[in-house]
Amino acid sequence: MELRRRRWSGVLAAVVLIAGGFALSACRSTEGTKAAYEDDQPAGELYNKGLAYMNAGKLQDAIKNFNEVDRQHPYSEWARKSLIMSTYASYRRGKYEDTIQTGQRYLTLYPGTEDAAYAQYLIAQSYYSRIPDVTRDQDSTKKAMAAMQEIVDQYPDSEYADDARAKIIQTRDQLAGKEMQVGRYYLEQREYIAAVNRFKTVVSDYQDTRHVEEALYRLVEANLAMGLSSEAQTAAAVLGHNFPDSEWYDRAYKRLGAGGMQPESNSGSWISRVFSGGKTS
């Protein structure tokens, strides 16, 4: 009997749909909304379940519960807390792309809240965790540096700012190392102009990294190979003035001496202008 009653109800619904589609559409909208929320759970209960899963190491289950808070109770304070916890749980799982997406969503919805700096930090850490070795493409390194800089610029007094500053130095060193790796390759291939351009980038943009001393020495090598004695002498002079105890300066001095030259600065050289605070041409 119950099955028959349901079938008749279906037939009746079809008839009503033909006769008055608009009215039925409104009715279904109301019923659908009610059905969608009839199984809703209290936000605090869902959130606490998520925390329990987190403590138990069940990170995927935790994320599901936090996401349910956001789905069932959007724009609530519980939803805000759940979103940052979901971001953290994704980071702990090593799901860095999910972390970045969730963290960016948090910053879009809640830019001025107390956890905004933490969301930005998790984004930056996700890029930082994906930094490859120096022989590979450094896109993640650049993104990590930019994301860390965002912390320093937007949240300078946050507890994450000092770590961000330290990692900016590390990412800059990584990017300079990549330029050196490519520059040395060009130097070995005797593509001297291409090599000089790479070493020039290190000297101009990454003076605060450990690679600048070698970059200046490689400029001595490359310019000597091209017969540009004045540029080679200037590179050596700048190297000796700024890093007098460097092994690279010792090598540069001997390299010039073998050709009857010595370090001598040319004020018109771009190398001199860079180290005197000027701009390169």
| Amino acid letter, residue 127 | Y
99 within domain boundaries: no
- Domain count for the chain, please give it: 1
How far apart CA 132 and CA 51 sit, in angstroms, is 33
Q: Are 113 and 84 in contact (CB under 8 A)?
A: no
Over residues 28-39, the mean pLDDT reads 44
Find the mean pLDDT for residues 229-249.
97
Q: What is the pLDDT of residue 275?
A: 86
Tell me how crowded residue 12 is: count the other CB atoms within 10 A of its CB.
Answer: 10
Residue 7 has pLDDT above 60, yes or no: no
- The model's confidence at residue 33, banded by pLDDT at 50, 70 and 90, is very low
Gyration radius of the chain over CA positions: 31
Tokens 């069932």 correspond to 72
Q: What is the pLDDT of residue 278?
A: 55
pLDDT at 85: 98
Residue 202 lies in a domain: yes
Mean pLDDT (the chain) is: 88
**pLDDT for the residue 13:** 40
- In a domain, residue 73? The reply is no
The pLDDT of residue 1 is: 36
Q: Is residue 204 part of a domain?
A: yes
At residue 39, the pLDDT reads 58
Percent of the chain with pLDDT over 70: 84
CB 100 within 8 A of CB 119: no
Please check whether residue 280 is in contact with residue 274, taking contact to mean a CB–CB distance below 8 angstroms.
yes
Residue 75 counted as domain residue: no
What is the CATH classification number for the domain harbouring 272? Answer: 1.25.40.10
**The whole model's pTM is what?**
0.79
Q: Tokens representing 244?
A: 């007098």
Residue range 97-118: mean pLDDT, rounded: 97
Q: Give the CA-trace dihedral at 149, 150, 154, 158, to 10 degrees.
A: -70
pLDDT single digits (tens) 39-74: 578 999 999 999 999 999 999 999 999 999 999 999
Residue 183 has pLDDT above 70, yes or no: yes
Q: How many Cβ atoms sit within 10 Å of the Cβ of residue 253? A: 18
Alpha helices in 112-261 (DSSP H): 116-129, 139-154, 161-188, 192-205, 212-225, 229-242, 247-258
In a domain, 93, yes or no: no
- pLDDT of amino acid 94: 97
Picking from 99, 32, 31, 26, the residue whose alpha carbon sits closest to that of residue 59 is 99
Tell me whether residue 197 is in a domain: yes
Confidence check: pLDDT of 21 > 70: no
- What does the alpha-carbon distance between residue 92 and residue 94 come to, in Å, rounded to a whole number? 5
How many whole angstroms separate alpha carbon 84 and alpha carbon 79? 9
Cα of first residue to Cα of last residue in the chain, in angstroms, is 90
Domain of residue 232: give its range: 172-281
Structure tokens at 141: 């390194």
- For residues 50 and 65, the answer to whether their CB atoms sit within 8 Å is yes
In a domain, 25, yes or no: no
The three-point CA angle 262-264-266 to 5° equals 150
